[in-house]
Each structure stands twice: as C-alpha cells, then as structure tokens.
Amino acid sequence: MISRSVSALVQALAEREISSVELTQLYLDRIARHNLALNAFVTVDPEKSLAQAKRADERRAAGQATPLTGIPLAQKDIFCTQGWLTTCGSKMLGNFVSPYDATVIEHFNATGAVILGKTNMDEFAMGSSNETSHFGAVKNPWDTARVPGGSSGGSAAAVAALLAPAATGTDTGGSIRQPASMCNLTGLKPTYGVVSRYGMIAYASSLDQGGPIARSAEDCALLLNTMAGFDERDSTSLERSREDYSRELSARTPEKPLAGLKIGLPGEFFGEGCAPEVMQLVAEAIVEYRKLGAETVDISLPNMKLSVPAYYVIAPAEASSNLSRFDGVRYGYRAPEYDDLDDMYARSRAQGFGAEVKRRILIGTYVLSHGYYDAYYLQAQRIRRLIANDFIAAFKQCDVIMGPTSPSTAFRIGEKASDPVQMYLSDIYTIAVNLAGLPGLSLPCGFASGLPAGLQLIGDYFSEARLLNVAHRYQQVTDWHQQYPAGFD
C-alpha cells in the first residue's frame, strides 16, 4: 500500500480496500520508525491526524467525498496551520502555534485530506540543502550522508522514503524542483500567483510560490487541482477561472503522443558547470522525448548567467523587509535577558535567527540602503526584466524548455556549508524561472552512481497542464519515478 501513487490510493479508498484511518496509521507508524534517521518531520501529532482521518471516513460513507478525501499528506512547515506548531525551521518561531490556516491548508482541509505532520526545511526557506534548519539537517533517503536539497528537503525526504504519498513545498529559487531532483521525485513550481501565498510565511514575496511534490506528474496534477485558485486575501493571487490540471493526462495515447511538441534546448543549460554524468542522463531523456514525437530546437537565454547575482540581490532585499516583523514583541522568540526595547530587538534577533538568515538580512539591508539602492537593487530588477524577455522570445520558437534541474546529484552534508557561493550555484538552472514568474517542473531521469538526477521542464505562463502532460508521457515509458531507496520498504 505504501508504494502506491496518490491516484491509486484514491481508488483504494473509493473501493473500500482500506480506510483513511488505517492508511493514516500506516504512514504514522512509518514516520515513527524512520524519521529519527531522516529528520524529515519537525512536528507529528497522531491524535490530530487520526481525528481528521476519521472525519474523512465519515464523509466518504456519507457520499460526500472528493478525490483527496482521506488522503494523508505532509505539509511543509512554512504553511500556517491552525493548532499546529509552524516553525519555518527557525528558533525564532520554535514555539509558534498558528491561530489560523494558510489558504493552501484551507483548501486541503475542505477536500478532507489528512495532515500527517509538518516537514523540516531550511530556516525561512533560505538554503539549497536543508542544512540551515534550527532543527538539524534533513538526510537524503538515497544516501543519509547526503543532503536532500532545499529548502523543501523535509517534504522531499518524506515522500522519497515512503513516509507520505505526497507533500507540499515552496519554491523561491528552485526549492521544490531541486529537492525533487535529488530525491527522485516530481516537483512542480506553478506560475507565480496561481497558488495563494496567504498564510505562507514570506521569504521573498515576489518570488515565493507553493506547489506539490509527489512521485509522478499525475499525482502532482491531483494536488495542484486542490492548491490552486484565486484568493482575495493575497494581493499577488491571480483571478483566473479554475482549471483541471490533469485534463491532458487521460487522453488516448497514440504511438507518438508528443507529436508536434517543440522542445527548446538552451545553449546556456548545456555548457560547462554541470556534472558530465548528469548531463548524460539529460541527453538520454531528450532522446526518449524525440521517440515520443517531440522535436527539439536550439534556443538561447543570453541573460541566464546573470540570474544568480540578480536573485541574490532581490531575494535578500525582500527578506530583510519581510523578516523585520520578527522582533520578539508580538510572537516568536524573545531573548530572556535585555536592558531596554532596542536591546530586546537586537538580542532576540541575534539569538533567534541562524547564520544564513542573518547573512541574507544584512545583504538585503545593504542593497536597499541609501547610495546603493540604484547601484544594486534597481539594476537587479532591470536584469530580471531582461531574463523574462529572454523567455518570452524563446517561447516564440518552442513550447517547452528542457535541461538539467541541478548541476549535480546530492552532495554530502557539510560539503558546501563553508562556501555560500558554491551553495548558491546549486540553483543555477532554476532561479531564472522564479525571476520570470514561469512554471517549472522537475522529474526523475535516471541515476548517477546510485543517486537520482532530475530533468527540468519550463513552460510559458499558465502552461502547467501542458508541463504535467509532457512529464506524464515520459513517465509512461520509463520507470525512474517508480524506484525507491533501499532500507525504507
């Protein structure tokens, strides 16, 4: 049962093969058995989870079920969840019990889904390895000496180790796609504004976007159907008609299901900087796509090389503003000893934030300061526009852009901790997507020395259904996404 997809579990619940209470207990038992080795979950509350599962079974018995009714899911600890600890991986929020639900959580609750627990993450989503969490590093189930990717590493590790059938994540510069790549999962970052940010603790408001992490594109589509939707409480939410993101997956599969699809291959994705064994797996996946009927065309994204420096000006600038609310006054950590109000602010923030968060706050404050705003922040925003324009031009030549998700497979815990620049370069292929606000997806495309690698698909605005279909067709003829790490069966 634990190796079944979300869609298969939906069918099992509908056919009364298993109850939600039984299924939830099965996953809770696995979390109790394996979480100590992985550190994937920060908070688990079996009583709350089983109560939700019981209500889901009653709802199903009354004939009021939706597709996700009774499905247990892991929630990234960045989504405010009423009555649950919501820590954002930080000492600053180590004792914060949310008084309300994020919109994403509301949507899942409305469908009758079950919360298995809150997953570990890089502190305030700032990291590419899940090593910056106040609660310790998350371990990759494929090799527990290696990172699972970040910042949604806890969600990815939980799904990869079969501790949850699927999970939520957030993606500011690659934080869904990179963990999906390193843990052999499928992860989708939707178009900016498709998923509400209300109740999702902010890192960089113009970049953050919630999305699903699962084993297959089909499962991601099921989750996105629930997560997406307009929210008047979020000023960045887009008012659009609801759509079925799985609508293209059930179409009859011809011999060449992707005939007519043009895949763009940016020269900037296929130069130096990517591990040869990862590039080889990507090349093999491209061959498979040609067999499926797709055509490949060479394209260029000339300003992509500027995406990392632009991102690490814009994101810290927004973080320095967003994190100013954590001052020890209204909620969160407060220093036990201080002399006056200013001293309380200083001590609470010094003690409550970790090193990486402090680094980004300082960078952000610097680039927004008088005399540097024009030189750094405005210049970065101009580069952001150039990057978006590159994608607009590229999509006049192709339907989907393809390349590696991460320049390497999972690296060892501690390997890059002392070199922030090398850590930041882990997101070199993903950051441009966030700067442009586009949808991006990572799916498994093979193994290098026993470690998974990911293939990235980038689409035009609001093309999530197409991306999911393109990934789904590949997963119909390959089985990379069906392989699981040893020791977690």
Q: Which residues are catalytic?
A: 76, 151, 175
d(Cα 446, Cα 458) in Å, to the nearest integer? 19
How many CB atoms lie under 10 A from the CB of residue 417? 18
- How many helical (H) and strand (E) elements, i.e. helices and strands, does the chain have? 15, 11
In 86-143, the DSSP E strands lie at 114-119
Count of alpha carbons within 13 angstroms of residue 155, beta-carbon side: 40
Strand order in the sheet with 262-266: 41-43, 114-119, 72-76, 167-170, 210-214, 186-189, 440-448, 451-459, 400-404, 262-266, 295-299
Please state the separation of Cα 200 from the chain's center in Å: 13
Helix, strand, or coil here: 225?
helix
Q: Kindly provide the b/e burial profile for residues 426-438, where b requires at least 16 CB atoms within 10 angstroms of the residue's own CB.
A: bbbbbbbbbbbbb
CB 184 within 8 Å of CB 453: no
The helix (H) or strand (E) run that includes residue 57 is helix 46-61
Q: How far is CA 339 from CA 215, 325, 331, 343, in A?
A: 52, 20, 19, 6
Per DSSP, the residues of 197-218 read -TTB--SSTTT--EEEEESSHH
Per DSSP, the residues of 64-90 read ---TTTT-EEEEETTB--TTSB--TT-
Q: How far is CA 371 from CA 230, 361, 365, 367, in A?
A: 39, 18, 12, 9
How many CB atoms lie under 10 A from the CB of residue 286? 18
* Residues facing 297 on adjacent strands: 264
d(Cα 311, Cα 387) in Å, to the nearest integer? 11
* Ramachandran angles phi, psi of 435, nearest 5°: -60, -35
d(Cα 130, Cα 149) in Å, to the nearest integer? 6
**Token output for 231:** 């929210």
How many CB atoms lie under 10 A from the CB of residue 75? 25
CB 149 within 8 Å of CB 181: yes
User: Any residues with CB less than 8 A from the CB of 329 and at least 6 apart, and which?
Assistant: 344
